[in-house]
Amino acid sequence: MRRLVMVGVAIAVLSAGCGGQSPAPVPTSATGGPVTGGVVSLTFDDGLARQEQMAQELTKRGLIGTFYVHSTRTKAAGYLDQPKLERMSEAGHEIGGHTRTHARLPELHPDEQRREVCADRSALKAMGFAPKSFAYPFHAVSAAAESVVRECGYSSGRGRAGAAAERIEPRDPYNLNTPLAVGAGTTPAQIQKYVLAAEQHKTWAILVFHDYCDDCGPLGVEPAVFTGFLDWLKEHKIAVRTVGDVIGGDLRPVPKIKAPSIVLNASLENYFGKEGVPDCWQLDGRSKTATFGRVAGARTGRWAGRIQVGDGDPGRLRLAIKQDDGDCAPRTGALSVWYTSTVPVRFTFSRRTGDGVWTRWADGPVFPATTSWRQATWTPPRAQAAGISFGLVLAAPGQATFDDFALR
Ligand SMILES: [Zn+2]
């Protein structure tokens, strides 16, 4: 998922003026005085569990960092859980966002981008954090992704790697340049070089760290290198601030986003719900003999979804778009899905009325069993719906595999 970023020498190209932006507040140094030179931000990606030790090393030295995490991974093994993140936040570290699923945003439909960015930020806020800063997974930025990050209420987005040092008053706060991802091969001198350059040119060095260990892959920094660098940094007395502090400004609200115009997670690729239910989908009526699981052999992407219904089961296990108030449930549309099945399948459909109530499930037309991928499409009766949900159910015990749902 993560990628080592090879970086050349960062060259700061500075120009006067900043296009009418109001000046950023003057950052203060780690020891409290005003910044007279450059500034350094220590940033940490992906919410990896071992970053707790890195945060502790910072705290020991009176330093603070910015940790870009995924709201969906705080219960997953190998990641920082909520109590740990709370302790880090209490120690002064900043908790920022990094999408729900480490998504490469420019490749996604804007509605899918909003789900990744806004819903993640909303979940972090619900946990009690104050996420102001965002980092694009894979450093992948586009104009559309930038506007989504702004729309979702973030104050900045850490973006492009290796292009140039960042200005303390960034030209584009939604594409902050970072000079360096620190990895297993990075030497203390290399890390120091970026700090010294920021000091010399009065710029902002945003350093990126991932894992922390002696031998855990290309993105793991060795503890001795990391703590040695922190000791040097502390002695060096350059200002060390979180990204949110350098950017300044108040915490902005998360807007209520419009119901999507597409089926989100339509190819059933992302599984961050409980019990292996795909994100933005719900499963009703599971039993001992009626099960859902993801399977390889997808029509597109990596996964398809499969419902299996045993003998004697009425076969009402239903995978359908999550019946929510518009985070996942789209407003309207004609429905389509690709499927293979050993038994006939039928559409199942529900809609949300203006008062937010979901109707009982209604049956749609039946489609025949098929061993090769076949597309089923259906336009439900015209309904004044605030939101819709739909899926497929098996008409009898058997097995059906689904992929690539869509609204048309
Ligand atoms: Zn990442």
Ligand 1 center–CA 182 separation, angstroms: 13
User: What average pLDDT does the segment 304-310 reach?
Assistant: 93
Residue 364 token pair: 């749609």
- Sheet (strand 362-367) strand order: 281-284, 318-321, 387-394, 345-352, 362-367
Residues 152, 114 contacting (CB under 8 angstroms): yes
Cα R_g (the chain), whole angstroms: 24
Please tell me the distance from the alpha carbon of residue 18 to that of residue 35, in angstroms, as a whole number: 19
Ligand 1 center–CA 256 separation, angstroms: 26
| The pLDDT of residue 97 | 98
Ligand 1 center–CA 149 separation, angstroms: 16
| The pLDDT of residue 275 | 66
| The pLDDT of residue 10 | 30
| The pLDDT of residue 265 | 94
The count of other CB atoms within 10 Å of the CB of residue 407 is 18
Ligand 1 center–CA 112 separation, angstroms: 18
pLDDT tens column, 6-19? 333 332 222 222 33
pLDDT band at residue 120 under the 50/70/90 scheme: very high
Ligand 1 center–CA 137 separation, angstroms: 5
Looking at the domain that runs over 39-247, which CATH code has it been given? 3.20.20.370
Ligand 1 center–CA 148 separation, angstroms: 18
User: What average pLDDT does the segment 334-361 reach?
Assistant: 91
Residues 28, 40 contacting (CB under 8 angstroms): no
3-class secondary structure per residue, the chain = CCCCCCCCCCCCCCCCCCCCCCCCCCCECCCCCECCCCEEEEEEECCECCHHHHHHHHHHCCCCCEEEECHHHCCCCCECCHHHHHHHHHCCCEEEECCCCCCCHHHCCHHHHHHHHHHHHHHHHHCCCCCCEEECHHHCCCHHHHHHHHHCCCCEEEEEECCCCECCCCCCHHHEEECEECCCCCCHHHHHHHHHHHHHHCCEEEEEECEECCCCCCCEECHHHHHHHHHHHHHHCCEECCHHHHHCCCCCCCCCCCCCCCCCCCCCCCCCCHHHCCCCEEEECCCCCEEEEEECCCCCCCCEEEEEECCCCCCCCEEEECCCCCCCCCCCCCEEEEEEECCCEEEEEEEECCCCCECCCEEEEEECCEEEEEEEEECCCCCCCCEEEEEEEECCCEEEEEEEEEEC
Which residues hold their Cβ within 5 A of ligand 1, which is an ion?
45-46, 137
Please tell me the distance from the alpha carbon of residue 133 to that of residue 404, in angstroms, as a whole number: 33
Top pLDDT among 89 and 2 is at: 89
Residue 145 token pair: 């992704």
Please tell me the distance from the alpha carbon of residue 299 to that of residue 112, in angstroms, as a whole number: 20
| The pLDDT of residue 381 | 77
Please tell me the distance from the alpha carbon of residue 111 to that of residue 261, in angstroms, as a whole number: 7
Burial classification of residue 396, based on how many CB atoms lie within 10 Å of its CB (0-12 exposed, 13-18 middle, 19 or more buried): middle
Ligand 1 center–CA 164 separation, angstroms: 20
pLDDT band at residue 382 under the 50/70/90 scheme: low
pLDDT band at residue 258 under the 50/70/90 scheme: confident
Top pLDDT among 1 and 408 is at: 408
pLDDT band at residue 257 under the 50/70/90 scheme: confident
| Domain extent listing, the chain | 39-247, 274-407
User: What average pLDDT does the segment 48-74 reach?
Assistant: 96
Please tell me the distance from the alpha carbon of residue 59 to that of residue 65, in angstroms, as a whole number: 9
Ligand 1 center–CA 210 separation, angstroms: 8
Ligand 1 center–CA 98 separation, angstroms: 7
Ligand 1 center–CA 344 separation, angstroms: 43
| The pLDDT of residue 23 | 41
Q: Per-residue pLDDT for 243 more than 60?
A: yes
Q: Per-residue pLDDT for 334 more than 90?
A: no
Residues 369, 342 contacting (CB under 8 angstroms): yes
Please tell me the distance from the alpha carbon of residue 190 to that of residue 180, in angstroms, as a whole number: 9
Ligand 1 center–CA 207 separation, angstroms: 13
User: What average pLDDT does the segment 320-337 reach?
Assistant: 89
| The pLDDT of residue 20 | 34
Ligand 1 center–CA 395 separation, angstroms: 43
Write the CA distances from 266 to 104, 213, 232, 402, integer angstroms.
16, 38, 49, 10
AA letter at 77? A
The CATH T-level fold of domain 274-407 is Jelly Rolls (2.60.120)
Ligand 1 center–CA 102 separation, angstroms: 6
pLDDT band at residue 35 under the 50/70/90 scheme: low
Ligand 1 center–CA 141 separation, angstroms: 13
Ligand 1 center–CA 190 separation, angstroms: 21
Ligand 1 center–CA 266 separation, angstroms: 23
pLDDT band at residue 3 under the 50/70/90 scheme: very low
Across the chain, what does the average pLDDT equal? Answer: 87
| The pLDDT of residue 296 | 93
User: What average pLDDT does the segment 222-238 reach?
Assistant: 92
Residue 83 token pair: 């109590």
Ligand 1 center–CA 319 separation, angstroms: 30
Please tell me the distance from the alpha carbon of residue 342 to that of residue 332, in angstroms, as a whole number: 30
pLDDT band at residue 246 under the 50/70/90 scheme: very high
Ligand 1 center–CA 81 separation, angstroms: 17
Ligand 1 center–CA 46 separation, angstroms: 5
How large a percentage of the chain has pLDDT more than 70?
Answer: 89
Residue carrying the six token digits 């140039």: 164
| The pLDDT of residue 186 | 86
Q: Per-residue pLDDT for 32 more than 60?
A: no
User: What average pLDDT does the segment 181-191 reach?
Assistant: 85
Ligand 1 center–CA 2 separation, angstroms: 6
Ligand 1 center–CA 45 separation, angstroms: 5
Ligand 1 center–CA 1 separation, angstroms: 7
Lowest mean pLDDT among 79-88, 355-364, 379-388: 379-388
Ligand 1 center–CA 80 separation, angstroms: 14
Ligand 1 center–CA 5 separation, angstroms: 11
Ligand 1 center–CA 31 separation, angstroms: 30
Q: Per-residue pLDDT for 27 more than 80?
A: no
Ligand 1 center–CA 158 separation, angstroms: 11
User: What average pLDDT does the segment 283-297 reach?
Assistant: 90
Q: Measure the N-to-C terminal CA separation of the chain; round to a whole number of Å.
A: 32
Ligand 1 center–CA 70 separation, angstroms: 9
Ligand 1 center–CA 43 separation, angstroms: 11
Residue 286 token pair: 């599971």
